[in-house]
Amino acid sequence: MNQDAHQKVKTTHLKRNAYLYIRQSTLRQVFENSESTKRQYALRQKAVALGWPEDRIVVLDSDLGQSGASAADREGFQRLVTEVSLGRAGIVLGLEVSRLARNSTDWHRLLEICALTDALILDEDGIYDPAHFNDRLLLGLKGTMSEAELHVLRARLQGGILNKAKRGELMITPPIGLVYNSEGALVLDPDKHVQQCLRLLFETFRSTGSAMATVKAFRKQGLQFPRRVRTGAHKGDLMWAALGHTQVLRILHNPRYAGAFVYGRSHMRKTVDGRFTIVQLPQEEWETLIPGACPGYLSWEDYQQNLKRLRESAQALGQDRRKSPAREGPALLQGLILCGRCGQRMTVRYHVRHGRLWPEYLCQREGIEHAQPICQQVPGGGIDEAIGELLVEAVSPVALEVALTVQQELQSQLEEADRLRQKQVERAQYEADLARRRYMRVDPDNRLVADSLEAEWNGKLRALTETQQNSERQREQDRKVLSDEQRTAILSLATDFPRLWRDPNTPDRERKRMIRLLLEDVAGSRREHYLTRSFQGWGHQDLDGARSSQCVAAASNQPRRSERNRSPPRSPYLCADRINTERARPALGRRTDVFGADRCSYSEKVRADAAL
């Protein structure tokens, strides 16, 4: 040990502990790069040579197998910083700077604490005092070089990955239903049962338009869904379990099912506490997107349509509150109606009148945002009724064809579900036969193995019996779903669609779903008396003045005001209370004006009623 090193070590340092920090980046390096680990442990002898006794040398090796890029998950490094900040460390030993930290923030924080507590730092090249400018400058340069080294290594690896991904040749773990063949090409899973399950999932979502409804359909039919084990002793095995909502969303958002190769759909972002979070990127920011790179279960257009339906079914957020999914309320144009004055999407408010919910459409976003009067409010009962009549007129000519298509689709779905259940029975039969063959091949005298194989065989037989019973029970239920009377009822609906629409037993949510098949938007203004409807893919149509006035007038003629007693109150105070309770406003003046007893007369009340 050179003389300069001994001059830096003082008695105050020797009275405190020496901390030897040992780290390897991965567990593989711990087992394969054993010489590096031995060299790190050998630094103990340097501490002894500098004057520290054996019992004052503390070895911190709990971070073996941890990366030095961050201090978030390194328990040993966090303990080292704590001991140094408490003034218990006389010297910190590390084979090189990269062992302590590969992050400038963590490294310079340690240097600052060591300088404040008068702790030394020792590596393979020498001993340093962070309180001295030259030593601290050299240690800072070493820390920067260590971080730059990690950056260069990552850049080289990431550059090779990106270059291969741009050609679509990067092998990424495929989702369930896609596998790599012997030539390294991505193909459909050869298991027909897996293929049928995925096709049924996409078909069910297409017909229901909801991920949760897809899960309910699989559960109702008693169908299981495949998944591939990614880690552990059973890595690569195919497992079958109930379909989950998160799994459906993950499949619907995965473009690989549409035959596209994608890379860079997300990236890692470092948080304030040093941890990393995954941020999903929009499609235009993906690193690589190559449509048609491999076989798929649906077309790229169908994939985009599924994403659009998922966005529409999501909770309405944002400035426009774009079409929220159909809910249970009676407001027929919920999520569809636009303000004819400012173009904002209108919201819904309900009022209870005579034991019935009546909708009211309000354009209040700007009013809430800037504390101003609302743009307009339109009672929705009359408009909904008028729009419903227009829908009946538009749908009646094609209702017969639609009903026949619905009947065929329902029957095909039941048949597809029955085929999948038969596949489950076949798989259970195969597993039971395989367990029987294993049991028959074992030596009867080897009871330890024979008993285990016999128990496995019995378990497979029980699973087979349960699968067969569930299949038969579900098949009987499916036969009850579409009886002859029900088929006749479906056909009768085709010629009597108006009765179906006006039937009080028809759920409001189903009415909304039907109207969304035809209408894109509805825009109207109560003051200007006009109404415009935009059809799905047909452009828009302005209703004629008479029908528009009829719709708006119907909206204004709500039962509460048409049925109320219009006899004059006996006092102006009662008149004011009555008008203000019913939220009437003066015909002239601002919207926020309120009637007062000093200005209220019967003639003014009649004017207010007429203005409403």
Catalytic residue numbers, as ranges: 25
Dist CA 108 CA 119 (whole Å):
14
User: Checking DSSP bridges between strand 376-379 and strand 356-363, what pairing results, if any?
Assistant: antiparallel
Q: Reduce the DSSP state of residue 252 to 3 states and report it.
A: helix
Dist CA 612 CA 597 (whole Å):
20
Answer yes or no: are the C-beta atoms of 157 and 128 closer than 8 Å: no
| CA-wise closest residue to 582 among 555, 563, 554, 603 | 563
Segments in 356-398 forming alpha helices (H): 365-370, 380-395
Query: Which tokens is 580 given?
Result: 């203000």
Segments in 275-333 forming alpha helices (H): 300-313
Answer yes or no: are the C-beta atoms of 57 and 20 closer than 8 Å: yes
Total length of the chain:
612
Residue type, 89: A
Query: Which tokens is 446 given?
Result: 């080897």
Nearest 10 degrees: CA dihedral of 43, 62, 16, 137? 70
Strands across the sheet containing 539-542: 337-339, 519-525, 530-535, 539-542
Identify the bridge partners of residue 530 per DSSP, sorted by sequence position: 525
Residue type, 235: K
Query: Which tokens is 21 given?
Result: 């920090």
Answer yes or no: are the C-beta atoms of 551 and 524 closer than 8 Å: yes
| CA-wise closest residue to 391 among 500, 526, 525 | 500
Dist CA 439 CA 447 (whole Å):
11
**Orientation of helix 192-208 relative to helix 211-221, angle to 10°:** 130
Residue with tokens 């030593």: 135
Sign of CA dihedral 6, 12, 14, 17: negative
Answer yes or no: are the C-beta atoms of 413 and 204 closer than 8 Å: yes
Answer yes or no: are the C-beta atoms of 52 and 16 closer than 8 Å: no
- Spacing of C-alpha 217 from chain mean position: 21
Dist CA 101 CA 557 (whole Å):
75
Residue with tokens 């442990």: 41
Q: Which residues contact 236 (CB under 8 A, 6 or more apart)?
A: 228, 229
Query: Which tokens is 165 given?
Result: 């991904």
